Structure formats: C-alpha cells, structure tokens
Amino acid sequence: MAILVTGGAGFIGSNFVLDWLAQADEPIVNLDALTYAGNLENLSSLAGDSRHVFVRGDIGDFDLVADLLARHRPRAIVNFAAESHVDRSIHGPEDFIRTNVVGTFRLLEAARAYWNGLAADDRAGFRFLHVSTDEVYGSLAPDAPAFTETNRYEPNSPYSASKAASDHLVRAYHHTYGLPVLTTNCSNNYGPYQFPEKLIPLCMHNAQAGKPLPLYGDGRQIRDWLYVGDHCSAIRRVLEAGSIGEVYNIGGWNEQTNREVVATLCAILDELSPRADGRSYAEQIVFVQDRPGHDRRYAINAGKIERALGWHPAETFATGLRKTVRWYLDHQQWLRNVTSGAYRNWLKQQYGA
C-alpha cells in the first residue's frame, strides 16, 4: 500500500509527510511542482529513505499523474498542492486559477480514471482527500457564530475563490461520478517550515533582522490559529475514518487578533532570544497599508470532527507558538536559505537551469 501526496514539499505537506513516516511505514509518493513555496530542504531528513518517493511535477499534468497512479497504485490521494498566499493572489491571480482550479480538476480526472479501473475491494477502499481552507466561507461579523460545514461559501480573495472552486469540483466528482472524496477546511496554520511570506514566520525573520513587523490596517483582524502538527493529525484521522462525501472543519478554538499574535510572538522572543539593546521586539511593530478586501474575521467550529471522529488539537496557542519560535531559532540556516533563495540551488544542481 502507498498514498500519493501532492504539494508535499510545501509547509503543511512536508509536515504531513514527516509526521506520516514517523508513525507508519506505508510509503508516500510525493508529487510537487517545486514552485517558490516548495522546499526539498524540509524533507532532507528523509534522504535515502525508500518509503519516500519524490516526483517533481504538476498536478495539472494528467499523463504524469495517470502514470504515477498506475505505477504506485496508491490507496489514497491527499491533495495539498496549491498556490496558498492571499497577497500573491491579489498581485497575480492567474497562477491560482491554473493550479487551484484547473490543476485540481485534472488531478480529479486522473483519480477518477484510476479509481474506475480498480478491482471492487480497492475501489471501495480508495479515498481522495482534498485539503482546503476556512477562507472559502468569507468574513464573519464580530458577534457571528464560527463557521460550520453548512455555512454558505462567500470567498472574497482570488485565493479563496480559487479554493472554493476546487472544493466545488471535488464535491461534484462525488455526486456525479461517485468518487470517494473527503474535504477538510482548516483555519490558519503555523509551525515549522512555513514560508516567511506568512505572518508568523515573516515576523520571526524580521524581528531578528531588526526590521519592521508590519501589521495591515489596524491589526485587529481575527484569525483562528492551529499548530500544523494538529492539522496533520486531523487529516490522518479524516483519511482513516471520515465518511465519504463529507466535509470536516478543522480549527484550534483559538481566535486572536493579528496584534495579539504578534505581541505574543514578541514576548516569547524577548524571553528566548532577547534583543542586544534589552528593548522589546514589540517596538518593531508598524502599521502599514491594509490588504485590499481584507477579511475581518474567521472562526472555526470544529465540533463535527471532534464529535464524529474524536479528533482534538494537542497544542494550545501558547504551547504551539513557543514550539514554533524555538524551531525558527534553532533553524536559522533554514530561514536564511529561504530568504536568500539558496534553497533553490539544490534545484539547479539537480535539474539544471
């Protein structure tokens, strides 16, 4: 048996691959296009491990995916591959349509053809798990209840609209063709190996480089934050026991304003790696122009996955953020390689220009 993971060199995907292989011997075929967000350094601890088969390629390449499925005969596909950064989607939405919408469609087509050709037992056991986001539900008023799986889709950014489209395609492939799909919609993740374009690793990097910590607008936008290891355990649980065709919201019951997130980060840094001048990193916070169309609040009701599948997050925000800060402090070379672009040298070495 094996599973096919897409986007497994990115932030959440690489955490998922590492956690999976730390707990089981079932091999992973990891298909990743290695865009700017894919970093094989995240997986360097798996060098020489025959349980991990890395393939550089695009989920939108039907022939490649069909070939991988035919050769490795996985019992499941877990689809992480996506363009994932809202700000980039505002500057250049096209890549988001190409990967998140067209890419997911082609991956579904390849999965459907493969699944149709399986023997009855294998067909019954096969799963296509699509990893999505809470951002598809749009923005909540301050006193509105947290998102449940039945909330209307109201995506507001090109990123969330493209993820919404992919969720709809996944749903349609179940209803129309019977493909055994599962969809998860998770809140904001944080933890090791996150690309420093996202709020927490960006602030980790800038804090230590003596640069400003930029908060958009008034910094009072609210997100629910979940430690990446808890997202990975939720996905494993849904894959193992989720009901076909169902959607599961995943979250940390942890709403924080961006101001609170960055203030907590600074307080942990002040303790673990104090500034040379003895002042607080919080002095580096600046308020900058807001993101266009910035969603004000997201909140996740994770009651369904907790009741139906018995999943609970292991980390609180306090424990998860402390672990995360420690990880970045202990992996400064990783951060330097990403910010300098050196992580891409491996690519040139391996694949040429």
Amino acid at 232: C
176-235: contacts with ligand NAD (CB under 6 A) = 186, 188-189, 195
Nearer to ligand NAD, 10 or 192 (CB): 10
- DSSP SS3 for 146: coil
Residue whose CB is less far from ligand TYD, 90 or 239: 90
Which residues are 131's β-sheet partners? 184
Residues 311-340 close enough to bind ligand NAD by CB under 6 A: none
CB of 157 to ligand TYD, least distance (A): 8
Binding residue for ligand TYD, selected from 86, 169, 181, 321, defined by CB under 6 A? 86
- Secondary structure of residue 87 in the 3-state scheme: helix
Residues 106, 70: Cα–Cα separation, whole Å: 16
Q: In what order do the strands lie in the sheet with 188-190?
A: 188-190, 222-227, 255-257
Provide Rg for the chain, Cα atoms: 20
Which of the listed partners (ligand TYD, ligand NAD, none) does 12 bind, with a CB threshold of 5 to 8 Å by partner kind? ligand NAD
Q: Residue 86 binds what, of ligand TYD, ligand NAD, none (CB under 5 to 8 Å, by partner type)?
A: ligand TYD
Partner whose binding site includes residue 258, from ligand NAD, ligand TYD, none (CB under 5 to 8 Å by kind)? ligand TYD
Distance CA 175, CA 20 (A): 30
Which residue in the list 32, 41, 135, 315 is annotated as catalytic?
135
324 binds, among ligand TYD, ligand NAD, none (CB under 5 to 8 A by kind): none
Residue 81 contacts ligand NAD per CB under 6 A:
yes
Contact at 8 Å (CB) between 235 and 131? yes
Asked if 21 touches ligand NAD (CB under 6 A), the answer is no
Instruction: Determine whether 134 is an active site residue.
Output: yes
Residues 147-176 interacting with ligand TYD (rule: CB under 6 A): none
Q: Which of 29, 32, 164, 238 binds ligand NAD (CB under 6 A)?
A: 32
- Rounded to 5 degrees, what angle do the CA atoms 218, 222, 227 make? 130
Question: Using the rule CB under 6 A, is 249 a contact of ligand NAD?
Answer: no
Q: Interface with ligand NAD includes 295 (CB under 6 A)?
A: no
Per-residue tokens: 68: 């991988």
Please list every residue from 105 through 144 that binds ligand NAD, using CB under 6 A: 131-133
| Largest distance between two CA atoms of the chain | 68
Query: Counting contacts by CB under 6 A, is residue 163 touching ligand NAD?
Result: yes
User: In sequence order, what are the beta bridge partners of 6?
Assistant: 31, 79
Residues paired with residue 199 on neighbouring β-strands, in sequence order: none
CA–CA dist 7, 80 (Å, integer): 5
From the list 32, 41, 83, 134, the catalytic residue is 134
Binding of ligand TYD by 198 (CB under 6 A): yes
**What does the per-residue mask of binding to ligand TYD show for 222-241, with x meaning CB under 6 A?**
-x------------------
Give Cα 76 to chain centroid, integer Å. Answer: 18
Q: How buried is 79 (Cβ within 10 angstroms: 0-12 exposed, 13-18 middle, 19+ buried)? A: buried
Q: 147 φ, ψ to 5°? A: -60, 130
The contacts of residue 117 (CB under 8 Å, 6+ apart) are none
6 near ligand NAD, rule: CB under 6 A: yes
Q: Which residues bind ligand NAD (CB under 6 A)?
A: 6-7, 9-13, 31-35, 37-38, 58-60, 80-82, 84, 99, 103, 131-133, 163, 186, 188-189, 195
Q: Which residues bind ligand TYD (CB under 6 A)?
A: 86, 188, 198-199, 202, 214-216, 221, 223, 258, 291
Active site residues: 134-135, 159
